[in-house]
Chains A and B, each alone.
Chain A
């Protein structure tokens, strides 16, 4: 995988890139020695001196491919501060940092990295730069995950307020909700007639758009915002009469049948 944004440490072992102690083979030294060399080479890199990425790469390899705990700890030790820097740079993280602090997001990013980067996938990374870019991507993923969850939670809270029920803390509910979403969407689609209704339902409920926005984006289907309301009302009335959906609208929680 080519990484354009990240520079690559030198892997040259001759000429300009010749390393001191080049006889030291990364694959044959202990994790602690690897960590120390990785740290040294990173410092050289930061000082714009010729550096050798093989030691850091080996640390990643042992942590990911061999699932070696000691290497994983060393990796965390080496890169946690860098990951924290990335977290603070993320434009979406400001709110989360105020509420949770950076440590939780750093841990989540490492967890995501460990989970997502399987030994098989490791072959796709041919440089330290590419691996670090992937680690940085994991920072973005955890921040975006958290922001999405909060958005979703807002709907949950609103519904709870309507129903006077406490919010569910059972993770199984999320699975049921996510499974049923596709099924629910299928039932709804069976009830829809024409492009107008399909577009409206998708934009209103899957994309969460307001009627005004829908009208603005699809003037040919909805010349005026009243048309959006009219079509929406027709569909809602039809859905209300749908036998399979009645269960959902009566019992919103724990409805695996939907």
Chain B
């Protein structure tokens, strides 16, 4: 059996058609009417699926091996193999990144831990965690943040609107924290608390990675870290009385009586 119109389309075009790429309309028409070419497409499709099914990620280490590699549990030769593999495998590189991000995320157990003081530069250092006893010994200063009065507003606005206590602005030494509370759409009792932190004479990124803890009256603790833009967010929060602590390397800024 031969092609009914030899030379009218190229074999590469059959593969492009098979891959779902945009091809000349003539290719589609020809495949529809040429038995030889439609059989060819079917054969290629079958081969492609078999090869992909058998070979897809056949040389990838297991996610667990990748994880052990990541935390340094593998022996040298196994670790080297994975390093080499990661040089060309996009899937494992992605999985490794996901795993890293996941392990970095604070968990309930570690959320409570104060941060290790690793630098004396105010608002400069990312923190490493340390034993509680060590931190206690270091006696990090705790500073209560002052709630600043809201800036004056236009009288007409005040007369016609309910005055919201948000956003709130707090200051503690050279740290300024602005908090905004917003209701979660569609959930009357759930809120998100957005924070913005600046330190005098320091770039926004300088407080990146600082641990922010939110303690509820029922002893639940939520943890976030300040991002590179100086922001953090707690979501969802439910009405309660909270206390917030921002754990800078040389001091802990405390915002007490945060009523939500």
| A230 contacts B by Cβ under 8 Å | yes
Stretch with Cβ within 8 A of A (4 or more), from B46-54, B164-172, B175-183 = B46-54
Instruction: Give which listed residue, A156, A158, A210, A226, contacts B12 with CB less than 8 A.
Output: A226
| Known contacts A86-B107, A159-B50: A140-B99 contact under CB 8 Å | yes
Q: Give CA–CA (A9, B133) in the complex, Å.
A: 8
Taking a contact as CB atoms under 8 Å apart, the answer to whether A181 and B12 are in contact is: no
Taking a contact as CB atoms under 8 Å apart, the answer to whether A137 and B109 are in contact is: no
Taking a contact as CB atoms under 8 Å apart, the answer to whether B110 and A5 are in contact is: yes
Instruction: Give which listed residue, A112, A137, A184, contacts B55 with CB less than 8 A.
Output: A184
Taking a contact as CB atoms under 8 Å apart, the answer to whether B56 and A208 are in contact is: yes
Taking a contact as CB atoms under 8 Å apart, the answer to whether B136 and A90 are in contact is: no
| B1 contacts A by Cβ under 8 Å | no
- Chain B residues bordering chain A, tally (CB within 8 A): 64
Taking a contact as CB atoms under 8 Å apart, the answer to whether A50 and B133 are in contact is: yes
Instruction: Give which listed residue, B15, B21, B64, B103, contacts A232 with CB less than 8 A.
Output: B15
Taking a contact as CB atoms under 8 Å apart, the answer to whether B131 and A9 are in contact is: yes
Q: Give CA–CA (A128, B70) in the complex, Å.
A: 18
A124 / chain B contacts, CB cutoff of 8 Å: 73
In the complex, chain B residues 168-211 whose Cβ is within 8 Å of any chain A Cβ = none
Listed from nearest, the 8 A-B pairs whose CB atoms lie closest are: A144-B63, A7-B113, A229-B12, A181-B58, A141-B64, A17-B133, A155-B53, A7-B129
Q: Which residues of B contact A (CB under 8 A)?
A: 11-16, 19, 21, 43-59, 62-64, 66-68, 70-73, 88-91, 95, 98-99, 101-105, 107-110, 112-114, 128-133, 136-137, 219, 221
5 further A-B pairs in the complex, CB-CB below 8 A; given A163-B46, A249-B47: A8-B131, A42-B109, A132-B107, A155-B53, A208-B57
